Amino acid sequence: LISRAFRHQFIIPDFPGFTKHIEDFYWKCKSNTEGKVASYIPQLARMNPDYWGVSLCTIDGQRFSIGDTTVPFTLQSCSKPLSYAIALERLGQEVVHKYVGQEPSGRNFNELVLDHNKKPHNPMINAGAILVCALLKVLVKPEMTLAEKFDFTLNCFRKLAGGENLGFNNAVFLSEREAADRNYALGFYMREHGCYPEKTNLRECMDFYFQCCSIEVNCESMAVIAATLANGGICPITEEKVLKPESVRDVLSLMHSCGMYDYSGQFAFKVGIPAKSGVSGSLLVVIPNVMGICTYSPPLDPLGNSCRGVQFCEELVHEFNFHRY
């Protein structure tokens, strides 16, 4: 980092100048009071709607944070691209996509629907993510118990985050499991249609899905995860090769087309960069070959995306031409 600094070879040459703009966008979005905090479990309903944080990490490890960036929150749906990444890494694209599609569903994230081949539409919605959890449990290191598989997964996520600030929120896990009628319905519906690999234990698979959703992070560690994806799978902080570039390409492709639920098409059109939102209010944003960004603000729009997070991305792309096209 230091030698690059002397040679003025950073990916964003005037980083302090750039972050001044980020601060401006931050303050602009702070006054946005739209949206509602998720209320389906008490732990999320209690979240402070005023929390607002933005962290970024470039592919050469320059970092900037503003606002509530050390407040812990659960991954929720932001776990979906990460568990999908591990499945791709361990099983390859062909095996994973025997079980799950690549099309946007055009429906809500938890809708009881499969595609024409009786597969979940993609790994970024609940049905697809539950199925990816089954693949991780049954096909990746099948000898592991559920406890071992959880440790293994947490450890993979931690490597993506450069070893930083990952925990587990047991109260959220227990509540998720209690308030999961729809997810169980999805789980059974997929079993009825023979979606799972042989030897899948549905109860274990559902628990594993809820556990992945209940892993706790903060904005700063999530920005490093996004930066690892922006950097082709090499963590910019530790320089460890965590994912193959092929796995990262697949993850970003589906984040681009399916990462923002039923707003994905509009987001791809307006903002044009891969992103994934979660119901706790986080937004994982990847600008390939430049940087990773995480925004955190609990109030959500009717489709389940963080209002301030979406606005921030729009402001960013309006000022800087990060749109892929």
175 binds ligand DON (CB under 6 A): no
DSSP symbol at 197: P
Contacts of 151 (CB under 8 A, 6+ apart): none
State the CB neighbour count (10 A cutoff) for residue 78.
Answer: 27
Q: How far is the CB of 312 from ligand DON (least distance, A)?
A: 17
Token pair for 305: 């995306």
**Rg for the chain, CA atoms, rounded:** 19
In the residue annotation, 271 being an active-site residue is answered as: no
Q: How far is the CB of 41 from ligand DON (least distance, A)?
A: 8
- Exposed/middle/buried for residue 76 (C-beta within 10 Å: 0-12, 13-18, 19+): buried
In the residue annotation, 261 being an active-site residue is answered as: yes
| Residue 11 or 222 having the CB closest to ligand DON | 222
In the residue annotation, 80 being an active-site residue is answered as: yes
Contacts of 200 (CB under 8 A, 6+ apart): 134, 137, 138, 191
109 binds ligand DON (CB under 6 A): yes
Among candidate residues 96, 224, 279, 290, the one labeled active-site is 279
- The pattern of x and - marking residues 20 through 59 that bind ligand DON according to CB under 6 A reads ----------------------------------------
Note the maximum CA span of the chain. 61
CA distance 18 to 210: 38
Q: How far is the CB of 130 from ligand DON (least distance, A)?
A: 8
213 binds ligand DON (CB under 6 A): yes
Q: CB under 6 A: which stretch of 87-95, 273-281, 287-295, 309-317 binds ligand DON?
A: 273-281
CB 27 within 8 Å of CB 305: no
Distances, alpha carbon 179 to alpha carbons 43, 88, 174, in Å:
12, 29, 9
CA distance 189 to 312: 37
- The pattern of x and - marking residues 77 through 106 that bind ligand DON according to CB under 6 A reads x-----------------------------
Q: How far is the CB of 82 from ligand DON (least distance, A)?
A: 13
Q: How far is the CB of 215 from ligand DON (least distance, A)?
A: 11
Distances, alpha carbon 307 to alpha carbons 74, 86, 134, 282, in Å:
18, 29, 32, 10
Q: Which helix (H) or strand (E) holds 308?
A: helix 307-319
φ, ψ at 129 (rounded to 5°) = -70, -35
Q: CB under 6 A: which stretch of 10-18, 111-119, 135-143, 275-283 binds ligand DON?
A: 275-283
Residues 124-143 that bind ligand DON (CB under 6 A): 126
Q: How far is the CB of 270 from ligand DON (least distance, A)?
A: 19
Among candidate residues 65, 77, 83, 282, the one labeled active-site is 77
CB 190 within 8 Å of CB 114: yes
238 binds ligand DON (CB under 6 A): no
| Residue 67 or 304 having the CB closest to ligand DON | 304
282 binds ligand DON (CB under 6 A): no
Among candidate residues 261, 276, 282, 297, the one labeled active-site is 261
212 binds ligand DON (CB under 6 A): no
Among candidate residues 80, 137, 149, 276, the one labeled active-site is 80
User: Which residues are designated catalytic?
Assistant: 77, 80, 209, 261, 279
Q: Given the rule CB under 6 A, which residues bind ligand DON?
A: 76-77, 109-110, 126, 176, 183, 213, 277-279, 304
